[in-house]
Amino acid sequence: MEPKQKNGKHEQIMSAAIRVFAEKGYFQSTIAQIARAAGVADGTIYLYFKNKEDIMAQFVNQQSKKFFDTFTSMFEGKQSAIERLKALIRLHFQVSQEDRYVALVYQVEMRRSDRLMKEDIKDALRMYHDLVGQIVEEGQQEGAIRHDVQIGLVKRMIFATVDEVITSWVMAGGKYDLEPLAEPLANLLLQGIQATPTA
Amino acid sequence: MEPKQKNGKHEQIMSAAIRVFAEKGYFQSTIAQIARAAGVADGTIYLYFKNKEDIMAQFVNQQSKKFFDTFTSMFEGKQSAIERLKALIRLHFQVSQEDRYVALVYQVEMRRSDRLMKEDIKDALRMYHDLVGQIVEEGQQEGAIRHDVQIGLVKRMIFATVDEVITSWVMAGGKYDLEPLAEPLANLLLQGIQATPTA
Amino acid sequence: MEPKQKNGKHEQIMSAAIRVFAEKGYFQSTIAQIARAAGVADGTIYLYFKNKEDIMAQFVNQQSKKFFDTFTSMFEGKQSAIERLKALIRLHFQVSQEDRYVALVYQVEMRRSDRLMKEDIKDALRMYHDLVGQIVEEGQQEGAIRHDVQIGLVKRMIFATVDEVITSWVMAGGKYDLEPLAEPLANLLLQGIQATPTA
Amino acid sequence: MEPKQKNGKHEQIMSAAIRVFAEKGYFQSTIAQIARAAGVADGTIYLYFKNKEDIMAQFVNQQSKKFFDTFTSMFEGKQSAIERLKALIRLHFQVSQEDRYVALVYQVEMRRSDRLMKEDIKDALRMYHDLVGQIVEEGQQEGAIRHDVQIGLVKRMIFATVDEVITSWVMAGGKYDLEPLAEPLANLLLQGIQATPTA
DNA sequence: CATGAATGAGTATTCATTCAT
DNA sequence: CATGAATGAATACTCATTCAT
């Protein structure tokens, strides 16, 4: 039924690549290392990927699609903006927790490639931003979010903070549990840190 | 009179390198490109830097020192924590605004090297984190910052958001003005985004 | 059928390298020259040798093994010490005569590397010395060799003289025949040059 | 009175060079290393030597001249051939013993340069050979040396053995005393090793 | 489909030599 | 004479990519 390949060579190579990228960094990784990690010959990689860059591109595409599909199917028009925001953060944490290699590449390696790689990669980040932006706007319409904040800054704050928390976790070796941080982080982002709620 | 170098070759090379790193990315930059950009011969670079990595390392060291010196001299024990936090953000914005190449390398290229480069680089980031952490703690003591927030998350939120705002600006080509964002960003971080100050 | 390499690339490269080493000297030889001489690409060399030094090391190992195997199989416990010594010299001459490049590298280039290269190379020379030493000792036991000579000096004299004769021949361009010198040389070494056998 | 230079810069550089050549090998030695060892600037070397190779060439010339002058002045037409041969060996040993660096370069480094360097160097070796040849011929005329030996082989045997003994000593670090070996070595070369003086 | 040997362009780094001071 | 900063040609080695088997 799989229209792509009989055996999971494609998946096999990609996941090996992600592991290698995670360990060495994208530019430091060699095709030979990926091939060995995947248990295939160097040349075989070129049967499934146009070139080294394409491995990263396909990974980002696939990963993004999966993420947004999950998110969409989970929350399509159901909850309040605040609830959806919390859910988004929680999903992001869950996904990262599930596969640290994926998270590492997604959080760290992918970033550096922004300006250097194809548009595909930028798109994934843009979609995330847009999603957050959408939620915030809806939140404002629902009256749950203040109107005197710059939406651009809010988007960035949320995106960056979630991102950073995951990256810290990834870089620390994934030693602690990520998901329990979702709730307090969401609250923090929403409520701010000041003692006296602005007059 | 300059006891270090007769002419500014060291500075000349470093700033050329930063420009090249900013444009191509660290790993994509070649010594030949840097040399050409600096108007010196390839070999000359090795009179001032141990190797390619050392260029980045020296840059980070110098930049960090400059940043922290400025910050320290500006605010030594003077203001409230909240004021100091705003000042830190403003300084960060100013510095970035002054030299987009520096900001680009500092924000983007340096990051990717975390796991790959010498400890020097990690140290700079750690110092920033610690500084933010310190300010937040003082803020709590001063009663200006709530006590029911996880200090680790707060640090990350502030660091990440400032970082992200600068990075966005850098990646966008530095087209708009950064400094005016300092005030609203500080407020946003402090006050949160929710309409109804937490019950 | 050859289990080692499909085609003789390994041999092809090594023998080209020896030719180049012989002509230019080890340190003056470049990988590019060797590659061209072998009719392969530069990179191909690194599929068969770890690095430039490894080419020399593998050559010395192979050559030594071949030499000692031949010697051992020829003379295992058969003849008198004097006969074995003559045979050793003759073999050394034969081998050199067969391939002047090999001899040149073995006699000249290898030497200079003594202090500079891996132990492998020293070992080969040591084995030769030991072999000569062994033969001389047996010769003394058999009563064919005087006991009032310092065995260390004898070893050195034999080794050095054979070596020098070959080296001269090599450096002269291999123009004359080496093997006919084996008999008179052996006699000379054994009998000395003085007219009146020491009183 | 010294027509060459006021201070001994020339000598200073040359002896530093020999030390460095002895330690690293000629091709592995750099001008910078020699300059540092001599306590002068890199450029200064080029005031006294045409280039790197010229340092070696001048060294060999000077050393050879010194050696032959000493030898000539010591033995001009005085002794028997046998005595002169012994004296030559003794002188060679003495000179080596006096300065191990000189010996090391002369014995080892110089050799490798044979085919690679200027004729000057070959000349020095040729002179030594000729000297030995001369002595042997005179010895034959005096009736002290057999006539049934090939003079070429005898020359080589003597040259090579003395050379080898010194080289061994040099490579061993000059730990033992060389001069006491002169007498037994001369005897060995002259008398051979066979127990029963060939019938 | 799969292989992995072969390729050769690409690159960091070294170092003999020059020359302005 | 002396310096040492500057040069840039030279070179070992790497690695993405191809293609004959």
> What's B116's domain CATH number?
1.10.357.10
C/A touch flag: 3 or more CB pairs below 8 Å: no
Q: What is the pLDDT of residues C101-124, one digit of tens each?
A: 888 787 777 765 545 455 666 677
Strand E nucleotides within 7 Å of a protein CB: 1-20
* Nearest-neighbour CA in chain A from B58: distance (Å): 20
Query: Per the CB < 8 Å rule, is A165 touching B156?
Result: yes
Q: pLDDT band for position C3 (50/70/90)?
A: very low
User: Taking Cα atoms as reference points, which of C159, A198, C184 lies closest to residue B193?
Assistant: A198
Clarify whether residues C39 and C127 are in a common domain: no
Range in A111-115, B117-121, C6-10, C41-45 with the lowest mean pLDDT:
A111-115
| D193, two tokens | 């090793």
Distance B30 CA to E10 C1' (A): 10
Q: pLDDT band for position B3 (50/70/90)?
A: very low
| Chain D span 45-104 residues with beta carbon within 7 Å of strand F | 46-47
| DSSP state letter for A50 | S
Q: Which of D154, D181, D188 sits opposite C188 (nearest CB)?
A: D154
Mean pLDDT across chain D: 83
Query: Per the CB < 8 Å rule, is D156 touching C150?
Result: no
Q: pLDDT band for position A103 (50/70/90)?
A: confident
Q: Which of B27, B116, B192 sits opposite A192 (nearest CB)?
A: B192
Number of structural domains found in chain B = 2
**Helix, strand, or coil (residue B127):** helix
Q: What is the pLDDT of residues B136-161, one digit of tens each?
A: 888 888 888 888 888 888 888 988 89
Clarify whether residues C169 and C72 are in a common domain: yes
Asked if residue C43 is part of any domain, the answer here is yes
Clarify whether residues B66 and B162 are in a common domain: yes
User: Taking Cα atoms as reference points, which of D50, D158, D69, D60 lies closest to residue D109?
Assistant: D60
Clarify whether residues A130 and A169 are in a common domain: yes
pLDDT for the residue numbered A113: 54
C-alpha distances (whole Å) from B129 to each of B125, B136, B162 are 6, 11, 12
Give which of D23, D148, D156, D189 to mutate to test C binding, by max C Cβ within 10 Å. D156
Asked if residue A143 is part of any domain, the answer here is yes
| A176, two tokens | 């602690």
More confident residue, C190 or A199: C190
Asked if residue B197 is part of any domain, the answer here is no
Asked if residue C196 is part of any domain, the answer here is no
Q: What is the pLDDT of residues A71-98, one digit of tens each?
A: 888 877 667 888 888 888 888 898 888 8
pLDDT for the residue numbered A42: 97
Clarify whether residues C79 and C170 are in a common domain: yes
Clarify whether residues B116 and B158 are in a common domain: yes
| Residues of chain A above pLDDT 90, percent | 20
pLDDT for the residue numbered B39: 96
Q: What is the mean pLDDT of residues D27-46?
A: 96
pLDDT for the residue numbered D1: 40
| A11, two tokens | 């998946």
Q: Is the CB of D32 under 7 A from strand E?
A: yes
CB pairs < 8 Å spanning C and D: 146
Contact C194, D148 (CB under 8 A): no
pLDDT for the residue numbered C75: 74
pLDDT for the residue numbered B40: 96
| DSSP state letter for C195 | S
Asked if residue B198 is part of any domain, the answer here is no
Q: Which residues, other chains included, contact D2 with Cβ-Cβ below 8 Å and sequence gap of 6+?
A: none
Distance C4 CA to E13 C1' (A): 35
pLDDT at residue D47 greater than cutoff 70: yes
Q: Is the CB of B34 under 7 A from strand E?
A: no
C-alpha distances (whole Å) from A54 to each of A40, A119, A127, D21 are 17, 12, 20, 52
- Could you list the residue range(s) of the whole structural domain that residue B41 is in? 1-49
Asked if residue A198 is part of any domain, the answer here is no
pLDDT for the residue numbered C169: 87
Query: Per the CB < 8 Å rule, is D193 touching C159?
Result: no
pLDDT at residue B29 greater than cutoff 90: yes
Clarify whether residues C44 and C139 are in a common domain: no
| A38, two tokens | 């995947």
**Helix, strand, or coil (residue D4):** coil
C-alpha distances (whole Å) from C34 to each of C15, C46, C55, C109, D172 are 9, 12, 10, 16, 34
| Residues of chain D above pLDDT 90, percent | 20
Q: pLDDT band for position D159 (50/70/90)?
A: confident
Clarify whether residues C32 and C68 are in a common domain: no
Q: Is the CB of D176 under 7 A from strand E?
A: no
Query: Per the CB < 8 Å rule, is A189 touching B157?
Result: yes
In chain B, which residue's Cα lies nearest the Cα of A158?
B161
Q: pLDDT band for position D98 (50/70/90)?
A: confident
Clarify whether residues D29 and D58 are in a common domain: no
Clarify whether residues B37 and B98 are in a common domain: no
Count other C-beta atoms under 10 Å from residue D41's C-beta: 12
Asked if residue C113 is part of any domain, the answer here is yes
Clarify whether residues C28 and C57 are in a common domain: no
pLDDT for the residue numbered C111: 66
Strand F nucleotides within 7 Å of a protein CB: 1-20
Clarify whether residues D78 and D167 are in a common domain: yes
pLDDT for the residue numbered A195: 62
Give start and end residues of each alpha helix (H) in C76-150. 81-98, 100-104, 110-112, 119-141
Distance A46 CA to F18 C1' (A): 10
pLDDT at residue D70 greater than cutoff 90: no
Q: List all chains that touch chain D, counting a touch as 3 or more CB pairs closer than 8 Å.
A: C
CATH, residue C12: 1.10.10.60
* Nearest-neighbour CA in chain C from D11: distance (Å): 26
Cβ contacts of D177 on chain C, cutoff 8 Å? none
Q: pLDDT band for position C39 (50/70/90)?
A: very high
pLDDT for the residue numbered B99: 86
Q: Is the CB of B47 under 7 A from strand F?
A: yes
Q: pLDDT band for position D199 (50/70/90)?
A: very low
Q: Is the CB of A47 under 7 A from strand F?
A: no
Longest dimension (CA), chain B: 66
Distance separating alpha carbons of residues C108 and A121, to the nearest angstrom:
59
Asked if residue B155 is part of any domain, the answer here is yes
